[in-house]
Amino acid sequence: MTKPVILWLGNDLRTTNNAAFNAAAAAGEVICLYFLDDATPGDWKIGGASRWWLHRSLEQLSRQVKLVLRRGRSDAVLADVMRETGAQAVYFTRNYAPWSSALERRVKEACDRAGAACHRYGGYLLHEPEAIRNGAGEPYKVYTPFSRACFAAPEPKLPPSAKLLPWKGELKSDTLDQWNLLPKNPNWAATFEPEWQPGEAGARVALNRFMEDGLANYAEGRDRPDQPFTSRLSPHLHWGEISPAQCWVAIRSAAAQAGGATDASAEKFLKEILWRDFSYHILNHWPTLPTAPFRPEFGAFPWRSDDAAFNRWKRGETGYPIVDAGLRQLWATGTMHNRVRMVAASFLTKHLLISWTEGAKWFWDTLVDADIASNSASWQWVAGCGADAAPYFRIFNPVLQGEKF
């Protein structure tokens, strides 16, 4: 039997424009592996709402490729599969979470021990965090010059798509249901189902809808939580069901076709995609971002501990309509509009004086787009302790914000 190659899938749950997928496809018969690894991320194992998304996304992907599902520490399970199959190489997309570099090192060691090659690819971001440096050769701490440097860099290109030949051997796999990713008794995710279409096809639908109905109004309308002008692509981007390069190229081409009519909106949207890259840029260079303030002087901030107030915030019972609407929307749908995330986070950290780390943990469990870089960076931004953050004295007025937006 031919020795297979392994495609180790992570946050790149797509079959198109995926460099690791293409390279594996070109190398031989492929085993597509996904591991549910609750051990490696420590406190940051995938949260409840994201587990619902993951189930639905893997369900979709398994209609396109034969997936092998295993549970356990990724490097240990990968070593098992290499032993069971005699695989000659492992291909994967790079991840930037604080635990990823140690994990990727252990994976490389496991490959060395098994005599298999180990190939890592980019594609989760537009620009690798090391590729964008300021004049002194250091990472950026401020978004605007970072985004300027990105705009000046070569435009992102899409790797072509490839067809994959599955390995003909037999390998045992868990079933998705065995992982219990979907909530039961109560099924609080029932209200998520009509809101979202997880998976690669759903990501395409979201992008196309945005180009048809949202883009033209994005620059003006993106701050209006009552209007459907944002893309709702964040969970798809988080899970890699679509790449930021695919979004970038599509928006550039839509703007070119509109002959200048949507230029301001397109530019604004590309800048938002670059906020995602910036969050990863910061996380990659300051891996304590999820737990420690980027500005160390905030380490001594006297946050309050008030369970009753925190619970009222979580349930959307603060009495401030825009804050409460956001937190109830989060519970019912797994998302919250960006403007309302800012107002709700400001309310928690600046009115209730409860630490941003508490709010970030709640979002981690309840958002379908919960993302270690964007969530940590955004909470720190609102709290005033992050890179390029809103200053501590900038407090979103929840009444005026409700009236204005």
Phi, psi values for residue 89, rounded to 5°:
-160, 155
SS3 content of the chain, % helix, strand, coil (to 5): 50, 5, 40
Render the burial of 381-395: b for 16+ CB within 10 Å, e for the rest. bbbbbbbbbbeeeee
Q: Residue 362 has which token pair?
A: 């709640």
Cβ closest to ligand FAD, residue 127 vs residue 238: 238
Cβ closest to ligand FAD, residue 4 vs residue 359: 359
**Residue entry with tokens 């295993």:** 70
Cβ closest to ligand FAD, residue 23 vs residue 345: 345
Cβ closest to ligand FAD, residue 72 vs residue 287: 287
Cβ closest to ligand FAD, residue 167 vs residue 210: 210
3 state SS of 90: strand
Cβ closest to ligand FAD, residue 85 vs residue 147: 147
Min CB(213)–ligand FAD separation in Å: 12
Which residues contact ligand FAD by CB under 6 A?
Answer: 222, 230-234, 237-238, 272-273, 275-276, 279, 338, 341-342, 345, 363, 367, 369-371, 374-375, 378-379, 382
Min CB(278)–ligand FAD separation in Å: 7
Min CB(62)–ligand FAD separation in Å: 25
* Cα–Cα–Cα angle for 92, 113, 118, rounded to 5 degrees: 20
Alpha helices in 258-290 (DSSP H): 263-285
Contact 196, 242 (CB under 8 A): no
Min CB(275)–ligand FAD separation in Å: 4
For 257, residues 6+ apart whose C-beta sits below 8 A from its C-beta are: none
In eight-state DSSP terms, residue 159 is: -
Sheet of 30-36, strands arranged across: 67-71, 30-36, 5-9, 89-93, 117-121
Cβ closest to ligand FAD, residue 31 vs residue 370: 370
Min CB(342)–ligand FAD separation in Å: 4
Min CB(336)–ligand FAD separation in Å: 7
Min CB(76)–ligand FAD separation in Å: 28
Cβ closest to ligand FAD, residue 100 vs residue 378: 378
Min CB(334)–ligand FAD separation in Å: 11
**Residue 221 exposure: Cα atoms within 13 Å on the Cβ side:** 15
211: nearest Cα among 257, 245, 244, 165:
257
